[in-house]
Amino acid sequence: MKLAKVSTSHIQAVTGTTFVATLSSLLFGYATAVISGVVGAIDHNFIAPRELSDAAADALLGLTVCSALLGTILGALLARPTSAWLGRKRPMIIAAVLFLVSAIGSAYPETGFATNGPGPEAIWAFNVYRMIGGLAVGLASMIAPTFVGEFAPSAVRGQLGAYQQIAIIGGMTIAYFVNWGIALQGDDVWVLSVGWRWMMLSLAAPAMAFFYLSFSVPESPSWLVKKGRIDEARRLLSRSADPAEVDSMLADLATLSPEEKPAPVFKFGARVVLVGVALSVFQQLVGINSVLYYGPSIFERMGYHMDAAFLGIVVASMVNLACTMVVVLIVDKVGRKPLLIFGGVLMGLAMLTLGSLFRSQSAGAFGLAALCLYMAGFALSFGPIVWIMMTEIYPAPIRGQAMSIAVASQWVANLLVSGTFPLLLGNETLNAAWNHAFPFWLYGGFGILAAFVVLRYVPETRGVDSDHLSALWKREDLAAATK
């Protein structure tokens, strides 16, 4: 179906809806990053009073910091059946409520649970509230891009869809700024006793805005057509498209609405599925969420004071945001594969350098520079491009199933990396030999390996129409067989 060029008025009509959906991605990033400011408080208030061994304390810290990921995995699994049952709008409202409950509950975890005040036992209630926030992240991360893709006209769909990744990084950057601003309101003792609560509670502000604005967006036309509510879908599409285009869009949606039996996930070969899984897993194995979750703690290990440590992660996140904006402008000119290879090598070298600086006990400003180069490499490659390729590498008959497998693999890898980082960073044996360098060397090695895997096994999908994906994979397999 060839659609007419979308006018400015049509773009304005759609952008309002897209803004609300993209706000959920900002919340995704904010909820993910805000925990970085309270890692020290978690240790001080919930873990240190237990007088555990170093290994047990590090394991409990890792579990608590990444507890939201357990909810995220569940939310991602529930997103598809929930959106099929309730549509796209109502799950977004539910996600907003869950974000709000998580913000208030994690700030005051002793409230609503049978705990003896804000002591070490409140850690379990804290984890429950963080898991509720993770559930909201899982729902938002799956439903928001689906909503944008179904509602936006094709002429602006790619542009509007790119806002999602920028919003996620923007949400993280805002969270780091807020954490830094709160940390400046008192000394270290105040941050560990009171300031951390304000950091967790700060999520409530964007959550309430998202809740309010979610009522203003329409339902997905695709879902309405699937449910037989054609007149409602026609009225919605008329707000953002010409009458002739509306008829064509409705006809197209009608052909997609019947439930069809999905094709076998390996219909086009195991490699098709495994490439997406590999990209998703490497996105985490390069260590990005160890930096995002534990950034201030890493800077403190470099010798930075608490205030400077918060500022350091703000600077690194701004580099991340700026490079993400750049990659949106160049990805269709340069291609996906070259950027993935370049970013993998840059991340690998930056992490290997950071580990060596830790080993020589000379991190300081050079450590900040290495971490900024790492964030730039991620933002130019595995950050946004993996999500772009998730929608491009899979032929339509298996896309839904294959993407579910890849995304689930990504969250599991995220849980593994984030949960084990405190153990690796605090291990006495490793530190006696290499002084905190080992985890950074490990992530650097995965960065180089990721670049090699992309070079060897991942095809270039720039400009490849979805109808020709199966032929692309056949050509790639033939080329590999003749080498």
Q: Would you say 419 and 63 are in contact if contact means Cβ atoms under 8 Å apart?
A: yes
DSSP-H helix ranges across 360-381: 364-379
Q: What CATH number matches the domain at 10-217, 1.20.1250.20, 3.30.70.100, 2.60.40.1180, 3.40.190.80?
A: 1.20.1250.20
Each residue's pLDDT expressed in tens, for the chain with a length of 483 residues: 344 444 444 455 556 666 777 788 888 899 989 999 999 999 999 999 999 998 999 999 999 999 998 898 888 888 878 888 888 788 889 999 999 999 999 999 987 665 566 678 899 999 999 999 999 988 887 777 666 666 555 544 545 556 677 888 899 999 999 999 999 999 999 999 999 999 999 999 999 998 998 887 777 777 777 777 777 777 777 766 667 666 676 776 666 544 455 677 777 778 888 999 999 999 999 999 999 999 999 999 998 988 899 999 999 999 999 998 888 788 888 888 999 999 999 999 999 999 999 999 888 889 999 999 999 999 999 998 888 888 778 877 777 778 878 888 888 899 999 999 999 999 999 999 999 999 999 999 999 999 999 999 888 877 665 556 666 665 555 454 444
Say if 10-217 and 262-483 have the same CATH topology. yes
- Rounded alpha-carbon distances, angstroms, from residue 483 to 337, 400, 478: 20, 32, 9
DSSP 143-206: HHHHHHHHHS-HHHHHHHHHHHHHHHHHHHHHHHHHHHHHHTTS-HHHIIIIIHHHHHHTTHHH
Q: How far apart, in Å, do the first and last CA atoms of the chain sit?
A: 39
**Domain assignments of the chain as residue spans, ordered by start:** 10-217, 262-483
Given this model, what pLDDT does residue 7 score? 47
Strands (DSSP E) found in 243-307: none
Given this model, what pLDDT does residue 258 score? 47
Tell me which amino acid residue 381 is: S
Which residues make Cβ contacts (< 8 Å) with residue 101, sequence separation at least 6? 129, 132
- Rounded alpha-carbon distances, angstroms, from residue 440 to 120, 349, 364, 482: 31, 10, 15, 38
Please give the model's pTM, rounded to 2 decimal places. Answer: 0.84
Given this model, what pLDDT does residue 315 score? 95
Taking only Cα atoms into account, the Rg of the chain, rounded to an integer number of angstroms, comes to 23
Q: Would you say 312 and 304 are in contact if contact means Cβ atoms under 8 Å apart?
A: yes
Which residues make Cβ contacts (< 8 Å) with residue 481, sequence separation at least 6? none
CATH architecture of 262-483: Up-down Bundle (1.20)
Given this model, what pLDDT does residue 9 score? 46
Compute the CA torsion angle 57, 118, 298, 75 (nearest 10 deg).
90
Q: Would you say 132 and 101 are in contact if contact means Cβ atoms under 8 Å apart?
A: yes
Given this model, what pLDDT does residue 481 score? 42
